[in-house]
Amino acid sequence: MSVNIIDGKAIAALVRADVSEAVAELKETYNYAPTLAVVLVGEDPASEVYVRNKHKFTREAGMGSIEHKLPANVDEKTIINLIHDLNMDENVDGILVQLPLPKLINTDKVIGEIDPAKDVDGLTEISAGRLSLGKPGLRPCTPEGCVILAKHALKDGDNLSGKHCVIVGRSILVGKPAAFLFLEQNCTVTIAHSRTKDLDKVCASADVLVAAVGRPLMVKGDWIKKGAIVIDVGINRVANTNPKSKRKTKLVGDVDFDAAAKRAGAITPVPGGVGPMTIACLLRNTVLASCARRKMARPDI
């Protein structure tokens, strides 16, 4: 049986199309467009690319997009003052502080200043607490994207309920929230990490395997259960050893894709898998945050 390569770009485009439709309806009914404010500190090239894409897709969805660029040597108080201004600004519906922040800035403190009603990244303690308690709230974008991709990979009429989901990685941004989100789908969830014993065997028991460790090609092909759904969150830049390619480096995931694809039922590629979903879910969160804060009906997106 051939493997289903999960097309993250196409699925993200579907989510964005739903978001655009909801935005158009809000404009028509209430004469406003949800607005996302992004704070970028410093000149990390990867972060600059992310922020540029966020801006582009936010505008394409018909939403307002505000960008605040601060120099790498800015003091914490200035960032916090900016966040307070954005919290108070009636026209701002979502606030995202691009990570990582420069080393001297206390990231927890900065994130903790974001009004939870505008926390479209789902990273404040209130958002994380609501997720862990199973209460409604804003969910982190990358793990939300993983759930959407896993659902798309299911065979007709199937659902995630009862499936064993193994998440490799316990980060605050992906691993931990992903565990709660798959639990919400009634999966049996295992969180594995660098100290997990017999990691290969744990992974081999997964119906859904989410790899989010940030180590290139760490998950081997023979760790994959036949027919499993494999969601690869890793984006690692490594040397390109292909003599036919002019590029010195290439992007690979945390999973050895070629070997895993021989056993998996469905697998996300890197790039073009989880990556595009993060921004799509961010736009969705901005619309949801906007409707909740302005006391409008939650759109079905």
Active site residues: 54, 98, 121
Candidates 137, 198, 199; CA nearest to 168 is 199
Helices 8-30, 45-60: axis angle to 10 degrees equals 50
Cα atoms in the Cβ-side hemisphere of radius 13 Å centred on 189: 21
Residues 40, 63, 96, 281: which binds ligand GUN (CB under 6 A)? 96
Longest dimension (CA), the chain: 58
Name the 3-class secondary structure at 238.
strand
Query: Near ligand GUN by CB under 6 A, which window of 1-9, 96-104, 237-245, 249-257?
Result: 96-104
From the CB of 282, what's the least distance to ligand GUN, in Å? 8
From the CB of 199, what's the least distance to ligand GUN, in Å? 24
Residues 121, 144, 207, 256: which binds ligand GUN (CB under 6 A)? 121
Q: Which of residues 141-160 bind ligand GUN (CB under 6 A)?
A: 141-142
Candidates 250, 290, 301; CA nearest to 36 is 290
Indicate the residue whose CB is closest to ligand GUN: 99
d(CA 66, CA 158): 41
Query: Near ligand GUN by CB under 6 A, which window of 73-81, 94-102, 185-193, 265-273?
Result: 94-102
Q: Does 99 participate in binding ligand GUN (rule CB under 6 A)?
A: yes
Residues that bind ligand GUN (CB under 6 A): 96-99, 121, 141-142, 173, 278
